[in-house]
């Protein structure tokens, strides 16, 4: 359970493995693809079980790197299962990849918000909502797909 990674009370999952190795990453423990626990159907089932409560607003998928080729299929499987069971709850995903460079676009069928871009320490600002550095964007995926252009989630782009 989490109150920091997205609006409201959420279920968060941190996927293991990242090749970006951003300077002063807040979660270096997730860089190594060989560490962590195996991602299985039981993992998905546990996330779905944790999200059953009405007060849970959504799912946050972080890392490591959820969009990495070694993680994307698990990310999509989890997001798909979550949306099928909880169509009114939202999914937020954090990725170092830029939105326009996400290779497997299937994730766009399930994600509501994508926070994109690598963390850049020199652009860090504690006042930012849902992101660590000002180069990162909080993208409204549904609007972006509908308009075929990147649409930012405006309330998240304001400083606290």
- Please give the pLDDT value at position 34: 87
CATH entry, 9-157, from 3.60.70, 3.40.50, 3.40.1620, 1.10.287: 3.40.50
Which residues lie closer than 8 Å to 82 by C-beta, 6 or more apart? 47, 48, 51, 59, 89, 91, 110
Sequence spans of domains, the chain: 9-157
Per-residue pLDDT for 158 more than 70? no
* Residue 132 to residue 61: CA distance in whole angstroms: 16
The pTM assigned to this predicted structure is 0.93
111/30: higher pLDDT: 111
Per-residue pLDDT for 159 more than 80? no
Per-residue pLDDT for 2 more than 90? no
Q: How confident is the model at residue 24 (pLDDT cuts 50, 70, 90)?
A: confident
Give the tens place of pLDDT for each residue, 107-131: 999 999 999 999 999 999 989 999 9
């Amino acid at each position: 359970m989490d109150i920091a990674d997205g609006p409201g009370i959420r279920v968060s999952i941190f996927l293991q493995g990242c090749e970006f190795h951003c300077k002063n990453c807040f979660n270096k423990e997730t860089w190594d693809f060989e560490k962590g626990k195996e991602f299985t159907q039981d993992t998905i089932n546990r996330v779905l079980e944790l999200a059953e409560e009405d007060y849970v607003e959504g799912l946050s998928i972080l890392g490591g790197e959820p969009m990495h080729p070694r993680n994307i299929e698990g990310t999509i499987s989890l997001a798909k299962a979550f949306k099928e069971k909880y169509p009114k709850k939202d999914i937020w995903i954090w990725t170092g990849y830029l939105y326009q460079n996400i290779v497997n676009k299937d994730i766009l069928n399930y994600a509501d918000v994508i926070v994109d871009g690598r963390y850049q320490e020199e652009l860090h600002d504690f006042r930012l909502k849902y992101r660590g550095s000002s180069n990162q964007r909080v993208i409204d995926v549904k609007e972006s797909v509908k308009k075929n252009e990147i649409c930012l989630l405006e309330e998240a782009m304001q400083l606290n």
